[in-house]
Structure 1
Amino acid sequence: MALIPLISKFNFYQQIRLLLRTLRDGEKTDEALLDEALHLTSTLSLNAPEGDVESLYQTAPDQPLTLTAFHHGLTGAMGALPAVYTEWLIERQHRYSDGSARAFFDLFGHRLYCLDYLAWQKNHLYALAESTGSSPLNMAILALTGLTNEAPFPAMVNHAALFAAPVRSMVNLERWLSQLFAVPAQVIPFTGGWRSVSDEERCQLGNAQHRLETAPMLGSARREAHAHFDVLLGPMSVASSRRFIPQGAAWQDLWAQIRNYVGPVMDFSISLLISRSSIGASPLGTCALGVDFCLGSSAGTYLHKVQKPAPVF
């Protein structure tokens, strides 16, 4: 019989949790490991308990680990049954070397310990996350913020509170874009934009219902300062900027994420601030003018601002 040092003598649940962490192989569930790899039993000692766990040992390499606990069992000083049952089991085991009675009690005791631990694990989310391999709060957080249809990657869950607020701020948008695309982001508000005007708001000659008094508008569009903002990404290298060009992998995703955050009311434009050092001449056909190629030469490092067109979804 090999004795195994106790890691958490004063916390039964922590001891089981650490044992399961060691025994997990990615194939069996925690319920199966508790039944097959562990044997949980209550103590037969009537002395005052010294913690929650009495001993941990293994009779043979191919046998389950046996953990003897002081609390939450059927026998022992803190057991649910009267002390006379513990005294009788001690007599049967030590005087007559008969372990059948204790083995019968352990059929029920082991099951009680397993159910007790599983109930504890269900209400302690860090232990449940270790068991299932995923955070149990992820889906709940996404559901509360209305993001269950989005891809549940860590950045979305960590910033779900930004989407739950009824008023979505400029600072939170900058933080969200910086985290999502790993580039500095800056929002320039109130840059203004043109909005179409409906026929009901226009002044129409010959129509008595649309006079200058009720519809003081000439033309079919008006400029609103609060209807448009600019998003400036960078400074970034030329290699990083290729992700955000129309042929890049993050081009449509960038526009979709901003639209998802601000909603359909406000319009915006996206500009890239590209940091580029002086390089030699490039052969024709390898670069695109206005994207990663310019005419002329410049010494040192400079910033190049490029505005990107909106995609058609």
Structure 2
Amino acid sequence: MAVKDVVSKFNYYQQVRLLLRKLRRSHSSDAILLNEKFQITSTLSLDSPNGQVESIYQNENDTTIHMVVSHNGLTGTMGALPVAYSEWMIERYYRYSDCSAKAFISIFDHRLYCLDYLTWQKHYPCALFESQAKQPTETALLAINGMLTNNSPKQFIYASLFTLSVRSVVNLECWLEAMYGISAKVIPFTGGWRYVKKDECCQLGNPQQKLSTAPMIGSVRIETQSHFDVILGPVFQKESYIFFQQRSLLEEIWENIRYYVGPALDFTIYLSINSTGFTSPPLGKHLLGRDLYIGSPSHSKQYLVKLPAPKI
């Protein structure tokens, strides 16, 4: 049995906090660590307690840390049970070597001490900060900016771009450039065809859908303000392959733009490709419109390729 030093003898919570700090090498929560790595029980002694933590030890070939505590608990001088229970357990333990009664009480002792520490931890930011992978301040800022539901770990860096009540084009360009390391340009009001609801369309022979109440003739209309274009680049020819080969990257860009502008606006993403120093490959090896020319290439070394919308 290896006896460990009691660093905080008069404060049970600080002692557990210091031990947890050494054990937080995995991604397990404090509740799991307390349940798997600790065995906290109340003392059987009826002597006047000298502090809240009596002893800490660890058996050989056992990773569990045993703590004997005189703070609260069920047995001992400060225990919740009457003294007669502690006296009876002391007699059974030391005279007859019967540990069953104390082992049964220790089940509830350990659970009470774990819940007691977790409750204390919630009310002390210094201890709560150490136990969480995400900082409480970061969580609060993301919640204020409406970004708490986004699972990307990078979002906190760009939280300042979301603080304004109006989502601007400049902030969207800055966000895309910082996220993906590529220049971005947003062209607003490019227009697009949108389907019209049936109750807004005029229907011949239907007195409920007259031209005076349903002014639309046709099922689609063009709206200039409901569509914009996003141009990424320019990038070199070889660097552009990643946008076509990795669907996950294209889906991520699409989801981020949709998250920024909301569901009301439509957009199209174009990739500006610089083909300087690139020779057309033979037929059958590459794709037309991406890195394959028919005839002689144009004098312009930059061209736009429309990226397909992913099925999300």
TM-score, with normalisation over the residues of structure 2? 0.56
* Shift in Å, 1:231: 1.4
Contact 1:39–1:67 (8 Å) recurs in 2: yes
| Aligned: 1:33 with 2:31 | no
CA distance in 1 between partners of 2:306 and 2:279 (Å): 25
* Shift in Å, 1:73: 2.0
What amino acid sits opposite 1:4 in the alignment?
K
Q: Per-residue CA shift, 1:72-131, capped at 9, x if unaligned?
A: 223455433567877x589969xx96484887345314522234315654885879878x
* Shift in Å, 1:227: 1.6
Question: In structure 2, the residue corresponding to 1:191 is in which secondary structure?
Answer: coil
CA distance in 1 between partners of 2:49 and 2:252 (Å): 66
Q: Give 5+ residue unaligned stretches, structure 2.
A: 123-127, 134-138, 205-209
| Aligned: 1:70 with 2:67 | no
Q: Residue 57 of structure 1 corresponds to which residue in structure 2?
A: 57
Task: State the percentage of identical aligned residues.
Answer: 32
Q: Residue 232 of structure 1 corresponds to which residue in structure 2?
A: 231
Q: Residue 46 of structure 1 corresponds to which residue in structure 2?
A: 48
CA distance in 1 between partners of 2:27 and 2:223 (Å): 61
Q: How does 1:104-115 map to 2 (within 5 A)?
A: 104-105=101-102, 107-115=104-112
Q: How does 1:115-126 map to 2 (within 5 A)?
A: 115-118=112-115, 120-121=117-118
* Shift in Å, 1:66: 2.4
What amino acid sits opposite 1:46 in the alignment?
S
Specify whether residues 75 and 59 from structure 1 end up closer, same or farther in structure 2 by C-alpha distance, changes over 3 A only: same
Specify whether residues 173 and 22 from structure 1 end up closer, same or farther in structure 2 by C-alpha distance, changes over 3 A only: closer
* Shift in Å, 1:308: 0.6
* Shift in Å, 1:261: 5.8
297, 302, 305: which one aligns with 1:304: 302
What amino acid sits opposite 1:33 in the alignment?
E
Contact 2:44–2:90 (8 Å) recurs in 1: no
Question: In structure 2, the residue corresponding to 1:74 is in which secondary structure?
Answer: coil
* Shift in Å, 1:260: 6.3
| Aligned: 1:79 with 2:79 | yes
Q: Per-residue CA shift, 1:45-79, capped at 9, x if unaligned?
A: 51441xx4332113433585321223122345543
Q: Residue 3 of structure 1 corresponds to which residue in structure 2?
A: 3
Q: Residue 136 of structure 2 corresponds to which residue in structure 1?
A: none
Q: Residue 240 of structure 2 corresponds to which residue in structure 1?
A: 241
Specify whether residues 121 and 63 from structure 1 end up closer, same or farther in structure 2 by C-alpha distance, changes over 3 A only: closer
Specify whether residues 244 and 16 from structure 1 end up closer, same or farther in structure 2 by C-alpha distance, changes over 3 A only: same
CA distance in 2 between partners of 1:157 and 1:232 (Å): 25
What amino acid sits opposite 2:17 in the alignment?
Q
Q: Residue 17 of structure 2 corresponds to which residue in structure 1?
A: 14
What amino acid sits opposite 2:243 in the alignment?
F
Question: In structure 2, the residue corresponding to 1:61 is in which secondary structure?
Answer: coil
Q: Residue 191 of structure 1 corresponds to which residue in structure 2?
A: 190
* Shift in Å, 1:229: 0.9
What amino acid sits opposite 1:241 in the alignment?
S
What amino acid sits opposite 1:306 in the alignment?
L
CA distance in 2 between partners of 1:23 and 1:252 (Å): 31
**Larger mean Cα displacement after TM superposition, 16-25 or 281-290:** 16-25
What amino acid sits opposite 2:108 in the alignment?
R
CA distance in 2 between partners of 1:109 and 1:17 (Å): 21
* Shift in Å, 1:292: 3.9
Q: What is the aligned length? A: 278
What amino acid sits opposite 1:42 in the alignment?
T
* Shift in Å, 1:5: 3.4
Contact 1:53–1:70 (8 Å) recurs in 2: yes
TM-score, with normalisation over the residues of structure 1? 0.56
* Shift in Å, 1:236: 4.2
